[in-house]
Structure 1
């Protein structure tokens, strides 16, 4: 009985420690701080690209690291993040790295409610703010569609099928009106019920290597298109 109580106390203390650390660095500004400090400014002619996103972006380097090899691509994805968190860290993790292009992939965790309830308009507002910050600093913007998801295992019942489709329509419209490149992963990866095709995912939300192999050439083409814009 005493061992069970001790285990429970230690478990609760670990949870409190985790919650405290999260509260102290809600946007996880510390995650890439050391790497950012070591990163030198782009050399003349270097077309640096930063990938800003959540676990789908962060996981790209784990499941398909070859995509980044030999390219001036920098991964700044953080698992679980929502658009307000990305907006807070957009300056140190994107602007200060002086890229030519930023590829923004965001929104699915907002729909899942990872940092609380958010409307599609609020999600879109945060993405627009990131795009405006990038443009104000001479950075070309690629707006990625949210990837298809039929449901979230960690947060069921949020109707992602409808919300993702609506948000993607908002992103596509904004990109067209503001001369930004829209990167449509969704159409290439969705199945008949508007979830992700099984062959491209290991859990219905995150791509596996085959999923990233689909996304890679699409991202390369979108980046080239952005770089060619006046």
Structure 2
């Protein structure tokens, strides 16, 4: 991985944080990794005898606002060597849910809260490497306005990755759009937002490609 050797990876703590796409029932999993892309990444590493300690701190339904509220306990105090963040789809989606509008996060707040979290890591955990994943969601045709709003949040993730991360933002939304166009017969998600097992494999692959993990031996 960029900035890491194989021997270093084995001794590290990697923390993944975000919403339900990261969570994936991690609290029901005896290992605590969940059953989605986080587990796939960890198992891929284990198969090459270089698995770090992996912590999953995803919480279903979280926005960047809620994530920021638990940042001290779930990130700073755990002192990861690598931090992977994937958040934003709920920040957007709640704008279109009459029961959750008060939980929606506008673009300015999204940018400010996200950057505050990342700057704390840089200040308090200067050796920690950061990976930022673009928010992603393949929404039904009846909701094109959600996809349109999501573009701004994706751009924020890209800008923050340029400033804080070890690689460009992992391009997950484009990955799903391209995959669905190429292979529409595959169920990439179960509901337009949450990945199917194949969708989680797609996330894991792009995460490993983006971070340079696929080239690490």
So what's the TM-score if we normalise by structure 1?
0.67
From 129, 133, 155, the equivalent of 1:140 is 129
2:4 maps to 1:62: no
**Contact 1:135–1:141 (CA<8 Å) still a contact in 2?**
no
Q: 1:217 Cα deviation (Å)?
A: 2.4
Give the counterpart of 1:126 among 105, 113, 116: 113
Distance in 1 between residues matched to 2:160 and 2:147, nearest whole Å:
20
Q: 1:169 to 1:178 in 2, by over 3 A?
A: same
Q: Which residue of 2 aligns with 1:108?
A: 89
- Structure 1 range deviating more: 66-75 or 129-138: 66-75
> Given the alignment of the two structures, is residue 176 of structure 1 paired with residue 162 of structure 2, yes or no?
yes
Q: Distance in 1 between matches of 2:112 and 2:35?
A: 30
Contact 1:61 1:75 in 2 (8 A): yes
Distance (Å, rounded) in 2 between the aligned partners of 1:213 and 1:97: 27
Q: In 2, Cα distance between the equivalents of 1:116 and 1:63?
A: 25
Q: Is the 8 A contact 2:138 2:176 kept in 1?
A: no
**Higher Rg of the two aligned structures:** 1
Tell me, in whole angstroms, the C-alpha distance in 2 between the residues paired with 1:122 and 1:149: 23
Give the conservation status (yes or no) of the 8 Å contact 1:58–1:75: yes
Report the alpha carbon displacement of residue 148 of structure 1 after superposing the two structures with TM: 2.5
1:117 aligns with 2:104: yes
Q: Structure 2 unaligned segments of length 5 or more: list them.
A: 1-7, 25-32, 95-99
TM-score using structure 2 length: 0.71
Decide whether aligned partners of structure 1 residues 99 and 129 sit closer, same or farther in structure 2, where only a CA change above 3 A counts. Answer: same
Query: Shift of the alpha carbon at 1:192?
Result: 9.5
Paired residue for 2:152?
166
Counterparts in 2 of 1:208 and 1:121: CA distance versus 1, 3 Å: same
Cα deviation for residue 50 of structure 1 reads 0.5
Pairwise CA distance, 1:191 = 5.4
Q: Judging changes above 3 Å, is the alpha-carbon distance between structure 1 residues 112 and 95 closer, same or farther for their aligned structure 2 residues? A: same
Partner of 1:185: 172
Instruction: Summarize the Cα distance change of 1:96–1:223 in structure 2 as closer, same or farther, 3 Å threshold.
Output: farther
